[in-house]
């Protein structure tokens, strides 16, 4: 049976130890901050990024990997094993050109049928959970198409809710998507955001105050996952306290089969902003 290698990009925010354990390959995006360019999760980690952000003279910007960067990795992996195939899973095409870069790289290969590229239609651990599931399936010996089907199934059942401290970062970064109508909302109104089926950021509700917003997230999760058994990843952008508070509420209302805390990395943190907290949930 052919072997399958899993490729993703740095916006999946998969902890390095997990990537290494599962043999996941990662292509970094870039962060441009105060005249310096960094490789996401390579030359700039989350802790360093949020520290630098406090003292930054201007808003950071980001850029996607080039097709050449993906091509170099694909060619390396394909050359290592004549039987290997590649499943490459990336940041929503509605938010970035990263997926398109990967597709272009695939089209430049002599054996492009050995590579399949999937649009996660998500971000942060919305991608990460798909990538980890695919890597675990690959380790079990599943085929390229079987791994891809697992990704599509999880993508359809995934539930994502997140709160940002301010919409300023999403607005200035151009990633606000369908939540643009919230700009100029009243003080202390907390928009509850999600990622819609097209992979765009969308507003699902707005509540005054963080505690009420978190309670509302629990209500919506009960609606979305009536069985009550869940796998949960709680992600945060330099806001451990809010992440722990959200998890406590989730634990009180659901049977948690597995959980982990995820730190939102520099690229997603550039667009969501510090203070963001998110729940990535799938039925168990």
Same domain for 255 and 201: yes
Same domain for 18 and 91: yes
Structural domain span for residue 94: 4-29+64-156
Segment among 108-117, 181-190, 217-226 with least mean pLDDT? 181-190
Q: What percent of the chain has pLDDT over 70?
A: 94
Q: Judge contact between 273 and 176, C-beta under 8 A.
A: no
- Does the reported pTM lie above 0.85? yes
Residue 48: how many CB atoms within 10 A of its CB? 12
Same domain for 260 and 173: yes
Residue 71: how many CB atoms within 10 A of its CB? 18
Same domain for 105 and 20: yes
Q: What is the DSSP string of 109-130?
A: STTGGGEEEEE-S--THHHHHH
User: Of the candidates 123, 156, 189, which is a domain's last residue?
Assistant: 156
Kindly indicate the confidence band of residue 1, based on its pLDDT and cuts at 50, 70 and 90. Answer: very low
Same domain for 237 and 112: no
Q: Across the chain, what does the average pLDDT equal? A: 94
Give pLDDT, residue 36: 97
Q: Judge contact between 127 and 27, C-beta under 8 A.
A: no
Give pLDDT, residue 187: 64
- Across the range 113-131, mean pLDDT stands at 98
Same domain for 176 and 82: no
pLDDT above 80: residue 126: yes
- Domains in the chain: how many in total? 2
pLDDT above 80: residue 181: no
Kindly indicate the confidence band of residue 172, based on its pLDDT and cuts at 50, 70 and 90. Answer: confident
Tell how many helices (H) and how many strands (E) occur in the chain: 10, 13
CA-atom Rg of the chain in angstroms: 19
Kindly indicate the confidence band of residue 274, based on its pLDDT and cuts at 50, 70 and 90. Answer: very high
């Amino acid at each position: 049976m052919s072997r399958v290698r899993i490729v993703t990009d740095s916006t999946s925010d998969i902890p390095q130890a997990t990537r290494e354990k599962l043999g996941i390959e990662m292509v970094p995006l870039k962060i441009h901050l105060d005249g310096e360019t960094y490789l996401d999760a390579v030359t700039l980690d989350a802790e360093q990024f949020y520290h630098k952000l406090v003292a930054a003279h201007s808003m950071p910007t980001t850029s996607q990997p080039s097709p050449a960067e993906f091509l170099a990795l694909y060619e390396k992996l394909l050359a290592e094993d004549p039987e290997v195939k590649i499943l490459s899973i990336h940041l929503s095409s509605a938010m970035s050109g990263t997926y398109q870069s990967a597709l272009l790289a695939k089209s430049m290969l002599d054996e492009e049928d050995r590579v399949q590229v999937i649009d996660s239609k998500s971000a942060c651990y919305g991608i990460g959970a798909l990538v980890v599931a695919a890597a675990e399936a690959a380790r079990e010996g599943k085929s390229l198409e079987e791994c891809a089907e697992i990704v599509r199934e999880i993508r359809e059942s995934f539930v994502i809710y997140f709160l940002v401290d301010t919409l300023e970062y999403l607005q200035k970064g151009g990633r606000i998507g369908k939540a643009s109508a919230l700009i100029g909302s009243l003080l202390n109104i907390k928009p509850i955001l999600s990622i819609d089926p097209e992979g765009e950021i969308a507003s699902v509700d707005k509540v005054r105050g963080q505690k009420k917003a978190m309670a509302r997230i629990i209500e919506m999760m009960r609606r979305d996952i009536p069985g009550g058994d869940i796998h949960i990843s709680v992600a945060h952008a330099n806001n451990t306290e809010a992440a722990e508070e959200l998890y406590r509420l989730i634990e009180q209302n659901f049977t948690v089969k597995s959980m982990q805390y995820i730190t939102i990395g520099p690229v997603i943190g550039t667009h969501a902003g510090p203070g963001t907290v998110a729940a990535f949930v799938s039925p168990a």
